[in-house]
Structure 1
Amino acid sequence: MFLNPMRQFKHAKYLAWIAVLSATSVFAQTANFGKISLAPGFEPGTAIATGSTGGYFSLPSIANRDRHNNFCLGYSGNQTPDHILTLERDFPKLRLQVDSRGTPTTLVVRGPSGTVRCGNTSLEDTDWKAGNYSVWVGAKNEGVQSDYTLSVRE
């Protein structure tokens, strides 16, 4: 049986696009240092994660400004988020705090609807909708590396 080479190419092209889209959705759900899942009323000491930050990937390339028109600053090791924060329900207010033992750090958080929030060492904001949030902890200065602890409070 003879198969038309153009038709085979067309099908291969579609399969390639499916593979790219599948890889993109998997990539979007991965994190360098893990995930944090929260529901309202969580204990403050339970929403803690650790990691290491610093590098040459410019966090303003993710978002230059946040939803409040604040500049997003800092440098990370790569474009993959450091953490995925999953909110099981809406939160009226959350505070993210980074303890990097004195090294100046920044935060960039991109929400499920593409909303971006930025801060230096800490970030407090209102109206957090349920869903997955990508969290980058950056060093304020390029190339500086530091270990950190990230905590989340209501």
Structure 2
Amino acid sequence: MLRRTKLRFKYGCLLAGMTALSALPALAETPVFGALTLAPGFKPSQGVASGYTSGSTSLPAIVANQDRRGNKCLGFADNAPDYKMVLQKDFPQLAIEVDSGGKDTTLAIKGPDGTVRCADDTGKNKDASIQDPDWKAGEYEVWVGSIEAGSRWKYKLTVRQ
């Protein structure tokens, strides 16, 4: 929300003072639901988190129009990522799955080097999932979105090796 500003003249010039710039998106957003820290051989329970979709900002505006493989980044989410996923070492393969009970979810992941991975429907299922090789160690931002702006659906996020 942008607060009111006072306009005043000083030395013949109009000056506008802003009391808050909260309408501008933050450069580094705090994850909505927290962090997942994973090392090779992690226990299955360490790769599970839950949350709910929300937000009305388009994922292309937050992350990218498409990912490294040309998949479109679809849906709506909050500006802040839902999770920070910290990979302590490189992973040759990971699968990230959303289970909302069949709601139409989307998934976007931005890696430490700016690499983007996006997914929408998985087969006959409306939930999104990504299975991809070559995950480098570092911090990843993870957004779980919905195909409709403002939808609030509970989900479980699972990361598998």
Q: TM-score range by the shorter chain?
A: 0.7 to 0.9
Cα-to-partner distance string for 1:3-55 (whole Å, 9 max, x where unaligned): xxxxxxxxxxxxxxxxxxxx74xx34x20000000000111222111111133
Identity %: 49
Distance in structure 2 (CA, Å) of the matches to 1:143 and 1:84:
22
- Corresponding residue of 2:65: 64
Which structure shows the bigger proportion of residues in helix conformation?
Answer: 1
Greater than 3 Å deviation, 4+ residue runs: none
- The answer to whether the 8 Å contact 2:36/2:46 transfers is no
Alignment partner of 2:70: what SS? coil
User: 2-side partners of 1:42 and 1:152: how far apart?
Assistant: 10
Q: Does structure 1 retain, via aligned residues, the 8 Å contact 2:108–2:142?
A: yes
CA distance in 1, matches of 2:46, 2:38: 9
Distance 1:80 1:151 in 2: 19
- SS of 1:80's equivalent in the other structure is coil
Per the normalisation by structure 1, the TM-score is 0.79
Gaps of 5+ in 2: 1-25, 121-127
Query: Which of 132, 136, 153 does residue 146 from structure 1 map onto?
Result: 153
- State the SS of the aligned residue for 1:46: helix
Matches within 5 A, 1:2-41: 24=27, 27-28=28-29, 30-41=30-41
- Shift, 1:103, TM fit: 0.9
1:67 counterpart letter in structure 2: R
TM-score by length of 2: 0.76
Name the structure 1 match of 2:106.
106
Aligned residue number for residue 20 of structure 1: none
Deviation digits for residues 107-154 of structure 1, max 9, x if unmatched? Answer: 000000000000121111110000000000000122221011101000
Matched, 1:133 2:140: yes
